[in-house]
Homo-oligomer: A and B are copies of this chain.
Amino acid sequence: MDSQELHAAPHLTTEVHGPLEDLETHLLAHHADIERWLRLQWHAKKRAPFYASVDLRNAGFKLAPVDTNLFPAGFNNLDPATVPLCVQAVQSAIERLSVAASRVLLIPENHTRNLYYLESVATLRDILQKAGIDVRIGSMLPDLQAPKTLTLPSKQTLRLEPLIREGHCVSVKGFVPCIVLLNNDLSLGRPPILEDVHQEIIPPLHVGWSTRLKSAYFTHYSRVAQEFSEQIDIDPWLIDPLFRNCGEIDFMKKEGYECLADNVDALLNAILRKYTEYDVPHQPFVVVKADAGSYGMGVMMVHSADEILALNRKQRTRMSSTKDGKSIRRVILQEGVYTFETWGSHGAVAEPVVYMIDHFVVGGFYRVHTTRGVNENLNAPGVHFEPLPFINSCITPDSRQAPDAYPNRFYAYGVIARLALLAAAREIN
């Protein structure tokens, strides 16, 4: 391994790696069965989400998805060498969606100052164009009256055009698309301009964050993990974070706190039982998240029910609203999964994010944070991104190497990410 590879590779440092090595060994040994099972699942369901990104956490003893984004940003963080793989996957997606379609209208978030996000939109537009799709960007920015061209730090330009509604059809001036591709997670609700549109809208409006709940998603994921685990004879807990949810919560008024504290306790006990079973010497923790939250907002880690009761005003304020100031009334309590992967010589904590288009894994990157800990949310200010080297594209396991060699570890990531995608497909349909 040369120095460049060393630099580009993440380190997995954990005292407890028995079960995960077992898991990676299992995945490799059942490689053909796994791919066949996944093929049959997609064949039965027909339609994968157009795209998705999955946040994974690798604790050494456990590898699990902790969030699945159906409106992924961050395409600009992928290795540019993955573009051909993205293009091929987009072509597959379009064949399945609508073979005669050639025009796509992309609707992004209403961010105009988040340049990282706009770079992602530009990268996504380029991928669609290279796949032979006529693509235009229809913006829902309320004050956009005429087309506006932004020049990004990468020197790329991005032309935003006002979205037009006529009858049951949305368009931008002179361009009526066959397909409307949402890259806007609809946190603020289903936009009236997109209701009763006769064109195909993907993902459908009902999976926007105005109606989607993480708890519903993870219910699907648990079932997928259960079915998959039966196939390869593993404990589903190794790939599935435990979770619970409560009724209505009001952090400011401290309403619903007792239920929350009780559930935190119950969940910590359940995690502890599994940690004991596998001799895991770490302290269980629980992640409290807005059930309809995104952008890493409205998230906190707790190690005991007492921490809930002792939240100060600042903490409670932070847990009261998420993106766009939307208030949080429901939370999901999820088993915290340690990440024992680090990046670079200073040991910055890292977690992988895997990208899929259609039902294909197309690449990924590490979210890296130099000041956050192994049991903290890395999707926070100060985060940076390191693309997975293309050669580790999550689809090229090598049975001649050790189960934990990079291509094999990344293959495991690709498998778990596809299970997360399958759960999303069930959630959507």
Residues of A within 8 A of B (CB): 31-36, 39-40, 42-43, 80-81, 83-85, 87-89, 91-92, 94-95, 99-103, 129-134, 360, 390-391, 393, 395-399
Q: Which residues of B contact A92 (CB under 8 A)?
A: 92
Residue of B nearest to A101 (CB): B36
Verify A397–B130 contact, CB threshold 8 A. Answer: yes
Tell me the nearest residue of chain B to A84, going by C-beta. B393
Interface of A is mostly: helix
Contact with A396, one of B35, B95, B101, B130 (Cβ below 8 angstroms): B130
User: Are the CB atoms of B94 and A39 closer together than 8 Å?
Assistant: yes
Q: Which residues of B contact A397 (CB under 8 A)?
A: 130
The answer on a CB contact under 8 Å between B84 and A35 is no
Pick the residue among B84, B133, B391 that contacts A32 (CB under 8 A). B133
User: How many monomers of this chain does the complex have?
Assistant: 2
Residues of B within 8 A of A133 (CB): 32, 35
**CB of A388 to closest CB in B, whole Å:** 11
Cβ contacts under 8 Å, A99 to chain B:
39-40, 43
Contact B100 A40 (CB under 8 A): yes
B42 touches A87 (CB 8 A): no
Return A78 CB to nearest CB of chain B, in Å: 13
Given contacts A31-B129, A35-B91, A85-B85, 17 further A-B contacts (CB under 8 A): A32-B132, A35-B132, A36-B102, A36-B132, A39-B91, A39-B99, A39-B100, A42-B95, A43-B99, A80-B391, A81-B81, A81-B391, A83-B396, A84-B390, A84-B395, A91-B360, A130-B395
Is the Cβ of A84 less than 8 Å from the Cβ of B130? no
